[in-house]
Structure 1
Amino acid sequence: MKSRKKTFGSYSREDVIFLLKDISHAELENGTEEREKSMQTGGHYSESLPIEYQPSQDYMNLFHQSLDEHKWKMAAAIRTVAEKIYRSKGSDLVLVSLARAGTPVGVLIKRYLSFAYQISVPHYSVSIIRGRGLDLNALSYIVKKHGSEAVQFIDGWTGKGAITKELIQSVSGFNSGQQESVSHSLAVLADPGECADIYGTREDFLISSACLNSTVSGLVSRTVLNKQYIGPHDFHGAKYYQDLASLDLSNYFVDAISALFPELSEQTVDMDSDAGKTWQGLKDIQTIQEEYGIENINLIKPGVGETTRVLLRRVPWKILVQNSGNPELKHILYLAEERNVPVEVFPNMSYSCIGLIKPINGGEQ
């Protein structure tokens, strides 16, 4: 089984090990319009990569402003999630973050556990792809090295629950085929979709790392599953954008949050069991799908993080916001204006905002 080179990614190996095949040599980037057409006419998003968005100085100022405004909330959410994980599994634990959005969160949870309990738990970042599943070669590697009971999956936030369902299906199939007992429990900072097992909050708040792409995720691309580069025994692939090193804020971001751990208030973390999965977010999406006549539910991307991705990497049709005066949405409104994307107020939803992707037929589906 092929793994990555030791130099892959800009994080320290003490923070995370990427179980990804290095395909930095591959020419996979396509223009946004071309990639969107491919995805909506039978191609799969994991076979190519978007061109990395290079933000303006104004946008970078918004990133730094959002980090300053939300860093305490993120630090508190990290503590809450980490304490719940530790209570559940103790020190016999391996963190498995879902690349990319889960990676900085996993780094921070690992750092918190080191700070609070003086333990160094393994942390891997692996690929999961909607419609293709979790990288089972990577999971098999982890289980052989650490056992099945220790695994805790990590992501940044939930949307409508597609990745949650993908994780459940993949892990269940793995357990059945390998006679293992890996838990598909998913821990996230923000769970507005109400479909995670462990969460810091169900508020749809801005996790600042969502504002950027590889430059806040270890200079690692989205993960790739393209048969031209990935064999049956390989880990899923990714590119390492070393040429963006001068713009890299990956370690700056995690350092800014982890520096706050000693200063968090002594207030006891609410360790009551998290509320069950209601999948309320998916119900809201189905209402919007019907109201706007959108046939393909995959063209609806809910939550601050997913809406940001739509504006950075897809072809947006319009943005729905629960409250246009919400300070969490400054960067959303900036990007929408920059791209001439209309913004509509849609108050009756559990998300702060939702991004709607333009159907390739040009109609409003």
Structure 2
Amino acid sequence: MKQALMEQIQQKNIHPPEPLGSYPASDVTFLLKDLSRVTLEKGTEDREEAIQSGVHYSEMLPVEYEPTAEYIALFHETLAQSAKKVALAAASVAEMIVRKRGLNTAIVSLARAGTPIGILIKRYIDWKYGVSLPHYSISIIRGKGIDRNAILYILQQHGLEIELQFVDGWTGKGAIRQVLIEACREMNADYGLRLNDDLAVLADPGRCSETFGTREDYLIPSACLNSTVSGLMSRTVLRDDLIGPDDFHGAKFYESWRSVDQSNTFVDTVSGYFQDVAETAVAYAEQMTLNPPAVTWQGLRDIEAIQQEFGIRDINLVKPGVGETTRVLLRRVPWKILIDREDNPNLQHIMLLAKDRGVSVEVFEGLTYSCCGIIKPLKGGQE
């Protein structure tokens, strides 16, 4: 039966990947179609109006503005403060993956926030266990699902026995985890696979993952920037006129931005702390394996309470967590920011960005997250 399934998968004529991104090839293979020559960007206001009018967010891209000196400074300041903390979370997740999946595993990071995290996990396992796991970055899109061609390509390269470990940066309300659960269920049913929908993340403030380094909602430095901390890759794109049946989902490679790229600075800096945190990471992973954490989806219930409180029809306008709130302030049209308390040390940059953009900040009692960003409602619709 396995042989017949493998023959079926091998018959799928998937276009092979092109070299993309600013990371060394030894760190990651992007399973994405290069759309660098296609004009896909829309300005923030136009894109927001299009999204809220029903155009799917994956059919266009935000304009990738060159980060200002202030944002670059914020990135470096945050990296200096939290690199060891991020290293411990990445090492802890890596140790959990080894215990759960073993070393015959492919790391499958979800482009693009998952990519640097997948690299950190791969590097840690290589350093600690002397095994270089394959690492791929693939597309998953809310409302459209996972890139099936990418999954099938990985199985073509490594066979059915390999475990796939999906990786992302952090959880918000758990929307991508829900897409992943459904995508794995459908592929398992359609192909007779045994994909595991476990999503490993550095931070799980939404309480919807079983494999995480922390549930504290703090700023992971890679959330400060966009492509310039993600291998110079755009968000992923899925549009019928651009992506054929044998293609991977698409993305743009902003190669001309190499002079301001911080992608390798981030992973190199964090990787430098692995030796310091390894012992603590092992103890954490062993404890988590003995006492698996509950998945309560508490974060989603928080968002539903915010919806009701503020009369927000579309749940996708509420972006929970420090990382997502940062992104709302950097690349969306924010309405207001909710915080758990004014003296939260994880919110310094949020307060700075909100002040700069003239966005009101309110305390919302009992919030699971450190903060939530609310996008300004325009016409309805969703991202």
TM range (shorter): over 0.9
Match of 1:48 among 56, 60, 72: 60
Query: Displacement of 1:264 after TM fit?
Result: 2.3
Aligned to 2:361: 343
Q: Which of 283, 290, 303 is the matching residue for 1:285?
A: 303
1:57 maps to which of 69, 79, 95: 69
Q: 1:220 aligns with which of 233, 255, 277?
A: 233
CA distance in 2, matches of 1:71, 1:323: 24
Give the SS at the match of 1:264. helix
Q: Do residues 352 (structure 1) and 366 (structure 2) align?
A: no
Aligned to 1:241: 254
Match of 1:194 in 2: 207
Work out the CA distance in 2 between the residues paired with 1:222 and 1:56: 20
5 Å-filtered alignment, 1:63-212, equals: 63-148=75-160, 149-212=162-225
Distance (whole Å) between structure 1 residues aligned to residue 278 and residue 36 of structure 2:
43
Is residue 333–residue 376 contact of structure 2 (8 Å, CA) maintained in 1? yes
Structure 1 residue corresponding to 2:21, chosen from 2, 5, 9: 9
Instruction: Please report how far the alpha carbon of residue 265 of structure 1 lies from its aligned counterpart in structure 2 after TM superposition.
Output: 6.1
User: Whole-Å Cα distance in 1 between the matches of residues 379 and 15 of structure 2?
Assistant: 41
Alignment map for 1:302-321 (pairs within 5 Å) = 302-321=320-339
Q: Which has the higher helix share?
A: 2
Sequence identity (%) = 55
1:324 corresponds to which of 342, 345, 358:
342
Verify the 8 A CA contact 2:35 2:252 in the aligned structure 1.
yes
Q: Does 2:293 match 1:275?
A: yes
Residue ranges of structure 2 left out of the alignment (5+ in a row)? 1-13
Please state how far the C-alpha of 1:55 moved relative to its aligned partner: 2.7
Superposed CA offset, 1:297-343 (max 9, x none): 01000001111111122111111111233232222222212221111
Could you list the per-position Cα deviations for residues 168-214 of structure 1 after superposition, in whole angstroms to 9, with x for gaps in the alignment? 00111011001111111110010010001201111111111011000
Q: Distance in 2 between matches of 1:189 and 1:40?
A: 30
Distance 1:91 1:98, change over 3 A: same
Contact kept in structure 2, 1:94 and 1:151, CA below 8 Å = yes
Which whole-Å CA distance do the structure 1 matches of 2:70 and 2:55 have between them?
34
Q: For the Cα contact (< 8 Å) 1:53–1:313, is it kept in 2?
A: no
TM-score for the superposition, normalised by structure 2: 0.92
- SS class of match (1:278): coil
Distance 1:31 1:325 in 2: 34
Letter matched to residue 218 of structure 1: G
SS of 1:80's partner is: helix
AA of the residue aligned to 1:100: R
8 Å Cα contact 1:206-1:328 kept in structure 2:
yes
2:312 is matched with: 294
Q: Number of aligned residue pairs: give it.
A: 361
Is the 1:304–1:352 contact (alpha carbons within 8 Å) kept by the matching residues of 2? yes
Distance 1:359 1:3, change over 3 A: farther
Matched, 1:32 2:10: no
Which residue is equivalent to 2:11?
A: none
Structure 2: how far apart are the matches of 1:180 and 1:110?
Answer: 24
Runs of 4+ in 1 over 6 A off after TM superposition: none
In the alignment, is the contact (CA less than 8 A) between 1:62 and 1:330 conserved in 2? no
- Contact (CA 8 Å) 1:3, 1:20: kept in 2 or not? no
Moved more, 323-332 or 107-116: 323-332
Q: Which secondary structure state, in structure 2, belongs to the residue aligned with residue 269 of structure 1?
A: helix
| Cα separation, 2, equivalents of 1:131 and 1:222 | 15
Question: What is the CA-CA distance between 1:361 and the residue it aligns to?
Answer: 4.3
Name the counterpart of 2:4.
none
- 3-state SS of paired residue (1:317): strand
Find out whether 1:262 has 2:275 as its counterpart.
yes
RMSD value, Cα:
1.3
Equivalents in 1 of 2:238, 2:345: separation in Å?
Answer: 37
- Tell me, yes or no, if the aligned pair for 2:109 and 2:115 is still in contact at 8 Å: yes
CA distance in structure 1 between the aligned counterparts of 2:146 and 2:93, rounded to whole angstroms: 22
SS of 2:139 mapped into structure 1: strand
